[in-house]
Chains A and B, each alone.
Chain A
Amino acid sequence: MSMKTSNLFGKGFIIIVFTLTYLPILSLVIFSFNSGRSLVRWSGFSLEWYVKLFQSREIMTAVFITFLVAIISTAISTVIGTFAAISLTKTKKALREISLSANNIPIVNPEIVTAIAFFVLFGAFAIERGMLTMILAHIAFSTPYVVITVYPKVRNLDPNLAHAAHDLGATPFQALYKVILPQIKIGIIAGAAIAFTMSFDDFVISYFAVSGSAIKNISIYLYTLKRGVEPTINALSTLIILVIGTKIAYDYIRSGKKHTEE
């Protein structure tokens, strides 16, 4: 009896928290279809803001830059991070521990500290801020995430695999490409996914890394928007939410399949 009431209480609590979490997101989506300019009062269905979104040169540029930076920085940080994880398992313990501690710095620090660090670095060496500094900053904060995702997978590999490949006549490159990488594929994909979302959503670090230039990603565009908010932003958000929602549903269904297969 008391077990049941506490169960019910727990379920109610979970439902309330999820409702409150998703209510604002839902309202964002709903008002992207509003025919009026208001984000508070509903005046009828329309797709006007979606049309305006694709006509807005400024927003489209920001979207393009966001994707470009995310793709480039993810590709580079995934390669660097994966190689680093493989290399770290073979280096001396002291060096490995120092590296992994340094690796943790951008992960545990509040974003603003990392942002200030890049601002100071680019300022001190008089590097002109813009696209390049943004990509560099993104590589720097993404790589540590790739390393901590891939490293445990490499560590769990059987060390004899590489030896076996070597004994069977594989060059170190072949051993890496044909034996080690396929074994840690899941970790690499997970690391790349984290790197991509971190880059795609980043605001503070990018904002400091490009300050003074005209380069804007989606976050910087939103933050520096001078005139009042417009439903075009809701339309953009809805499209982003749609993509993320699809991905999550896909993940869930796929994991369900795996579950039943077992």
Chain B
Amino acid sequence: MQKSQAFLPKEKPRKTHKKLTTEGILGIPYYIVLIGLIVIPILMMILYSFQREGTSVFIISFTFEHYTRFLSERQFVELTIESLYLAGIATLVTLMIGYPMAYLISRSKPRTQLLMILLINAPMWINMLLRTRALQQVFEMLAPNLLGSNIGIIIGMTYIFLPFMILPIYAVLSKIDPSYFESAADLGANKFQTITKVIIPLSLSGILSGIMMVFLPAATTLVIPKYLGNNRYLIGNLIENAMIQQGRFGYGSAIAIVLSVIIMGFVYLIKKVDRFQGVNVDEDL
């Protein structure tokens, strides 16, 4: 294709141009969605986050106050630290449960693997509020004093977000060539060494994806503190209150921008680790 294009400069451009229009038309609704509903909202958030409160976004009145609030407003700072702390522990717990799970699944027979992945996927198809309420019901039955406590919230986050840790790690582990394990053994590594020196480094991108998919969603959840925290407030509820009850656009926008920047850092890190391993199958060649 490429070569013939070089040899036939006169005929080819007309044809590609014609092709572009047919396929270009197919892409138009998508670009409208992409620009109108994904890119523009982000630009609006950036504008609002630098906008003095109470003014329309179309009148420029620049301020940093929404960002300095991250350091100055006591309730905000305390809730942020508390949310990040709870979500951090929950992420660690999901990793400690999720990694061995993903490993064990990836080492079982193909048919068993499929069944177990379906069983891990299944709860995610059930509404998250229903699952959280189910857990609340079990707490009420077995350990009512956990409701409202930090441990109760951490258990809730672990329960809800565990599949998001298992699945990306499993995706990476199941792609590792089994001959690596044999080579490690042949070269004299014991089982523990094989895991720490071979398997974990190879699955680093899966671990990072899992952390990304658990940590921030757990930190910003509205549902878990409501049902398992006896209506306790975490950062998600603060955002909800500021935006929906009080309509403070700048406040919520600034938080969203900061969260997005953290996520971009994660995505960058995952890409870097992935490239280093050379297992990134999605890249165009």
Q: Is B truly associated with A?
A: yes
A contacts, CB < 8 Å to B: 10, 13-14, 17-18, 20-25, 27-28, 31, 39-40, 79-81, 83-84, 86-88, 90-91, 93, 96-97, 99, 102-106, 108-113, 116-121, 123-124, 136-137, 139-140, 143-144, 147, 152, 159, 172, 176, 197, 200-201, 203-204, 207-208, 211-212, 218-219, 222-223, 229, 233, 237, 240-241, 244-245, 248, 251-252, 255-256, 259
Given the complex of chains A and B, what is the CA–CA distance between A237 and B97 in angstroms?
27
Do B216 and A17 touch (CB < 8 A)? no
- Decide: A86 near B23, CB < 8 A? Known: A108-B267, A117-B41, A120-B249: yes
- Decide: A120 near B135, CB < 8 A? Known: A14-B101, A259-B111: no
Note all chain B residues with C-beta closer than 8 A to A106. Answer: 38
Given the complex of chains A and B, what is the CA–CA distance between A88 and B121 in angstroms?
30
> Closest Cβ of chain A: how far from B257's Cβ, in Å?
9
> Closest Cβ of chain A: how far from B109's Cβ, in Å?
11
> Closest Cβ of chain B: how far from A245's Cβ, in Å?
7
Note all chain B residues with C-beta closer than 8 A to A113. Answer: 256, 259-260, 263
Do B259 and A245 touch (CB < 8 A)? no
Given the complex of chains A and B, what is the CA–CA distance between A10 and B151 in angstroms?
26
Residue interface bits B98-123, CB-to-A below 8 A is 1, else 0 = 00110011000011001110111111
Given the complex of chains A and B, what is the CA–CA distance between A233 and B128 in angstroms?
13
* B138 interface hit (Cβ, 8 Å): yes
Do A84 and B260 touch (CB < 8 A)? no
Do B33 and A244 touch (CB < 8 A)? no
Do B44 and A124 touch (CB < 8 A)? yes
Note all chain B residues with C-beta closer than 8 A to A248. Answer: 118-119, 121-122
> Closest Cβ of chain A: how far from B160's Cβ, in Å?
10
* B13 interface hit (Cβ, 8 Å): no
- Decide: A80 near B30, CB < 8 A? Known: A116-B256, A119-B243, A203-B128: yes
* B130 interface hit (Cβ, 8 Å): yes
Note all chain B residues with C-beta closer than 8 A to A110. Answer: 216-217, 220, 259, 263
Do B44 and A121 touch (CB < 8 A)? yes
12 pairs across A/B with beta carbons < 8 Å? A40-B140, A83-B29, A87-B30, A90-B19, A96-B284, A102-B34, A102-B38, A105-B260, A110-B259, A110-B263, A116-B252, A223-B129
Do A222 and B116 touch (CB < 8 A)? no
> Closest Cβ of chain B: how far from A64's Cβ, in Å?
16
> Closest Cβ of chain A: how far from B35's Cβ, in Å?
8
B contacts, CB < 8 Å to A: 1, 19-20, 22-24, 26-27, 29-31, 33-34, 37-42, 44-45, 48, 57, 97, 100-101, 104-105, 110-111, 114-116, 118-123, 125-131, 133-135, 137-138, 140-141, 159, 162, 212, 216-217, 220, 222-223, 226, 236, 239-240, 243-244, 247, 249, 252-253, 255-256, 259-260, 263, 266-267, 282, 284
**Smallest CB gap from A219: residue in B:** B129
Most chain A CB atoms below 10 A, which of B1, B110, B122: B122
Chain B binding surface, main DSSP class:
helix
> Closest Cβ of chain A: how far from B177's Cβ, in Å?
21
Note all chain B residues with C-beta closer than 8 A to A27. Answer: 134, 137-138, 141
> Closest Cβ of chain A: how far from B169's Cβ, in Å?
14
Note all chain A residues with C-beta closer than 8 A to B244. Answer: 119, 207-208, 211-212
- Decide: A18 near B119, CB < 8 A? Known: A13-B104, A83-B29: yes
**Smallest CB gap from A2: residue in B:** B191
Do A21 and B27 touch (CB < 8 A)? no
Contact of B141 among A40, A81, A143 (CB under 8 A): A40
Given the complex of chains A and B, what is the CA–CA distance between A233 and B135 in angstroms?
14
> Closest Cβ of chain A: how far from B104's Cβ, in Å?
5
Contact of B30 among A84, A218, A229 (CB under 8 A): A84
Most chain A CB atoms below 10 A, which of B125, B162, B244, B255: B125
Note all chain B residues with C-beta closer than 8 A to A237. Answer: 126-127, 130, 133-134
Note all chain A residues with C-beta closer than 8 A to B133. Answer: 28, 222, 229, 233, 237
Contact of A240 among B126, B128, B260 (CB under 8 A): B126
Given the complex of chains A and B, what is the CA–CA distance between A24 and B41 in angstroms?
38
> Closest Cβ of chain B: how far from A262's Cβ, in Å?
11
Given the complex of chains A and B, what is the CA–CA distance between A49 and B222 in angstroms?
27
**Smallest CB gap from A223: residue in B:** B129
Given the complex of chains A and B, what is the CA–CA distance between A121 and B282 in angstroms?
32
